[in-house]
Amino acid sequence: MASFYGYEPKSRLFLGTAQYPSPAILAEAVRLSGVDIVTVSLRRESGEGGAGQAFWSLIKELGVRVLPNTAGCHSVKEAVTTAHMAREVFGTDWIKLEVIGEDDTLQPDVVGLIEAAKILSDDGFSVFPYTTEDIVVGGRLLDAGCEVLMPWGAPIGSGRGLNNLYGLRTMRQHFPGTPLVVDAGIGLPSHAAQAMEIGYDAILLNTAVAKAGDPALMAQAFAMAITAGRQAFEAQPIEARDMAAPSTPVMGKAFLS
C-alpha cells in the first residue's frame, strides 16, 4: 500500500461526503466500502442551524481520517485562507488543495495551484493537489513540497471516466515513486478499475456514489473494482496484440486428410 505523508490507508478508495440523500446513507456507504479516508468541506462544517456540527459528529463516529478540501476556491488567497481555517476546524494538517481556474469544466488553475501549494507546504501542511495530468505541472508541485499528486480523470461530477488515458499513463511512468490518486470524473467502477490497472495508487470520488440510485451499494461496487484493478496491475497483465495468438498449441495436433 502506498504511504500518504506517512499514513498507509486500509482502502485505496477515498470517498467524498457531499450530496448524499441523508447522513444515514452516507454512513452506510462508508461502512460498506471500507474506506478510512473521507474528504470534507469547510463550507459543510460551517452550515447554518447546527447542521455542520451534526455532520462533523457523524464523521467522528465513523472513525475515518479526514481530508479537508478547498472546494470552490478560485484564487491563491482564498485557497490558502480556507486551508488555514480547515486546519483549525478539523485539527489536521492534511488539505486537498483546489484552485479552480475555469467554471464550466472546473479545471484547476495550475499556476495558482503551484503557488498555493508552496505557501501551504512551507507552513507545514500535507498538500494533496487536485491537478491535471500534465507532467511538467506535476514536477513543479513536487518541487513545491507536495508528496502526492491527484490528477483529474475528467471534469468534476461529469462521470466521463479517464479522458486522457495516455496522459495518465505518462504521469504514472514519469513519477514511479510518487503516490498518484485519480481525482474527479470517475463515473463507473470500471473507470476506477482501469485507473488501478495502469498503476495508480488510489481513487477519490464523490458524485458517482452520492448520486447513485443506491449509494451504499455503489460504494461497495467501487471498492471491489478498485481491489480487482490493483490486483490485475500487480499480476502483470499481458500486452495487447494486433494479431491473434492461439491459446491452444497446434504442435502435435492431429490432422485428418
96 labelled catalytic: yes
Q: pLDDT tens digit string along 178-191?
A: 999 999 999 999 99
What pLDDT digit, counting tens, does each position of 131-150 carry? 999 999 999 999 999 999 99
For the stretch 62-78, pLDDT in tens is 889 999 999 999 999 99
Ligand-binding annotation for 206, yes or no, is yes
To the question of whether residue 157 is assigned a binding role by annotation, the answer is yes
Please tell me which residue in 96, 118, 211, 253 is annotated as part of the active site: 96
Measured distance CA(28)–CA(194) in Å, rounded: 25
Residue 207 is labelled as binding a ligand: yes
Asked whether residue 50 is marked as a ligand-binding residue, the answer is no
Neighbours of 254 (CB within 10 A): 4
Q: Residue holding cell 471516466?
A: 161
CA–centroid distance for 109 within its chain: 18
Give the pTM: 0.89
Q: Which of helix, strand or coil describes residue 193? A: helix
> Domain boundaries in the chain?
13-235
Query: Domain 13-235 belongs to what topology?
Result: TIM Barrel (3.20.20)
Torsion from C-alpha of 227, 230, 231, 236, nearest 10 degrees: 170
